[in-house]
Amino acid sequence: MEIHKGLAGVVVSETKISSIVNNQLLYAGYNIDELILKKVSFEEVIYLLWHLKMPDLTEYNDFIYELGDRMALSDTIITCLKIQCHQKLHPMSVLRSTISLLGVFDEHAEAIDKRAYYEQSLSLQAKIPTIVAAFSRLRVGLDPISPRKDLSIAANFLYMLTGEEADSVEVAAMNQVLILHADHELNASTFASRVCASTLSDVYSCITAAIGTLKGPIHGGANERVFEMLLEMDRQDCAVSTYLDEKLDRKEKIMGFGHRIYKTEDPRKKHLKKLAKELTDKTKQEKWYLKSCEVEHYLKEKKGLIPNVDFYSATVYHSLGINHDLFTLLFSMSRIAGWLGHINEQKNENCLIRPQSSYVGLQNQTYQEMKESTIKEGY
Ligand SMILES: CC(C)(COP(=O)(O)OP(=O)(O)OC[C@H]1O[C@@H](n2cnc3c(N)ncnc32)[C@H](O)[C@@H]1OP(=O)(O)O)[C@@H](O)C(=O)NCCC(=O)NCCS
């Protein structure tokens, strides 16, 4: 039996949603570079990932309206968020539980028809920024801010965080970050969502599985740790080389570096690096960008390691005023677009995902009855 550790190099399904070709990332055939260059909206990208075509104007307006109509959270969900604020949970755990709770309060959660799935997709996609923004305010004792239907997802999210409209540079940056994280072929969290979907489970369970998977530090959880590393370097005020050498000597992974698929360049990095430069210039926090460039240069020279999507996005999020323990939640706000597309695709062409393992444990065991004296009283 040939073993493919971590399923590396194994193709388990066909997809029409996204692809990586010659180090380029494409969403339904559109190169992300073009989507960024042409300044498309995140909403258009969601539509593309779900319908595999760009919307025309009427479809786009209808889509925006449908999303806008579903952004608000019920009082029950707000109350549950408040309760979770007191539990000292990681914000990704709060998000995971809140998505699961949305399923508890959806009387059609178990429905399997296409219309129900589309309705649930719209609702989840629309509510996730509201959940993240509400949680970030509630945990510091502020009231949540209601979503506005007249703003884009990017603008609305920044508005719900602070109560003030963000400027056009910040909104454009947020929109780009959302686009760049929206889908990425069969990454671990997308795979988790598809495994769950392949059992014909409900969409809330699939997204809960995906969020739990994204949370891990060697997947989406890396972005939060990237900024912790930059903060630590700043605190220690030592040379970047000294700091990194110590980590490498301890055989620690450097967060935000390395990738299963990309070995020479992550196509999203150049856009995020540019945004990190623009935003740190704008907010007079150049040190984070400069430190990041130093880290990139040193690791490339020393180990041939390349930054992945999580490296410069950490500085981008920080420059947008977002607390670093919320970074992976922002990743979820975007990647849910891809997850929902993939869950739908999996269900439409379903085959149960059930690989095999090679048993290497003990053999030829025979059962020995326990001696009476070893059995605890009462059992
Ligand atoms: C993403 C990641 C899991 C890819 O893992 P992978 O495809 O299994 O690659 P491997 O772990 O086999 O790495 C190959 C080699 O590069 C090294 N390497 C890879 N990423 C590294 C990193 N971030 N820091 C230090 N060394 C790294 C490995 O130690 C290994 O070296 P070896 O051959 O001497 O043992 C891995 O690069 C990682 O843990 N990165 C840090 C977390 C991160 O940023 N995750 C977000 C990914 S988008």
Distance 329 CA to ligand 1 centre (A): 23
Residue 112 is predicted with a pLDDT of: 86
Protein residue whose Cα sits closest to atom 7 of ligand 1: 260
SS3 31: strand
Distance 258 CA to ligand 1 centre (A): 5
Rounded (10°) angle between helices 114-138 and 327-348:
170
N residues, the chain = 379
In tens, the pLDDT along 221-230 reads: 999 999 999 9
Protein residue whose Cα sits closest to atom 17 of ligand 1: 258
Cβ of residue 254 lying under 6 Å from some atom of ligand 1: yes
In tens, the pLDDT along 57-105 reads: 999 999 999 999 999 999 999 999 999 998 889 999 999 999 999 999 9
In the predicted structure, residue 377 carries a pLDDT above the cut 80: no
Cβ of residue 260 lying under 6 Å from some atom of ligand 1: yes
3-class SS shares of the chain: helix, strand, coil, % to 5: 60, 5, 35
CA atoms within 13 A on the CB side of 159: 16
Distance CA 255, CA 142 (A): 32
In the predicted structure, residue 14 carries a pLDDT above the cut 90: yes
State how far Cα 90 lies from the chain centre. 15
Q: For residue 27, what is the enclosing H or E element?
A: strand 24-27
Mean pLDDT across the stretch 2-7? 93
To test the pocket of ligand 1, the residue of 257, 272, 295, 331 to mutate (highest count of ligand atoms within 8 Å of its CB) is 257
Q: Which residues pair with 184 in a beta bridge?
A: 186
Cβ of residue 258 lying under 6 Å from some atom of ligand 1: yes
Protein residue whose Cα sits closest to atom 12 of ligand 1: 260
Of the candidates 261, 335, 349, 267, which has an alpha carbon nearest to the alpha carbon of residue 15?
349
Mean pLDDT across the stretch 232-242? 95
Distance CA 174, CA 172 (A): 5
Q: What is the mean pLDDT of the chain?
A: 96
Cβ of residue 247 lying under 6 Å from some atom of ligand 1: no
Cβ of residue 308 lying under 6 Å from some atom of ligand 1: yes
Residue 1 is predicted with a pLDDT of: 82
Mean pLDDT across the stretch 178-201? 98
Is 181 a residue of the active site?
no
To test the pocket of ligand 1, the residue of 218, 250, 302 to mutate (highest count of ligand atoms within 8 Å of its CB) is 218
Which token pair is 354?
Answer: 């059930």
Is 150 a residue of the active site?
no
260 and 8 Cβ atoms separated by less than 8 Å: yes
Q: What angle do CA 202, 210, 82 make, to 5 degrees?
A: 85
In the predicted structure, residue 372 carries a pLDDT above the cut 80: no
Residue 40 is predicted with a pLDDT of: 98
Cβ of residue 279 lying under 6 Å from some atom of ligand 1: no
Distance 338 CA to ligand 1 centre (A): 24
CA gyration radius for the chain?
Answer: 22
The amino acid sitting at 374 is: T
Cβ of residue 218 lying under 6 Å from some atom of ligand 1: yes
At residue 375 the predicted structure's pLDDT band, cuts being 50, 70 and 90, is low
Q: List the domains of the chain with CATH numbers.
A: 25-215+331-348 (1.10.580.10), 222-319 (1.10.230.10)
Mean pLDDT across the stretch 172-191? 98
Active-site position among 106, 183, 266, 310: 310
At residue 125 the predicted structure's pLDDT band, cuts being 50, 70 and 90, is very high
Ligand 1 atom at minimum distance from 260 CA: 7
Distance CA 131, CA 101 (A): 12
Distance CA 305, CA 255 (A): 11
The amino acid sitting at 236 is: Q
154 and 39 Cβ atoms separated by less than 8 Å: no
Of the candidates 326, 99, 131, which has an alpha carbon nearest to the alpha carbon of residue 211?
99
Cβ of residue 302 lying under 6 Å from some atom of ligand 1: no
Protein residue whose Cα sits closest to atom 9 of ligand 1: 260
Rounded (10°) angle between helices 57-68 and 114-138:
50
Percent of the chain with pLDDT over 70: 98
Ligand 1 atom at minimum distance from 308 CA: 48
In the predicted structure, residue 268 carries a pLDDT above the cut 90: yes
Percent of the chain with pLDDT over 90: 96
SS3 257: strand
Residue 81 is predicted with a pLDDT of: 97
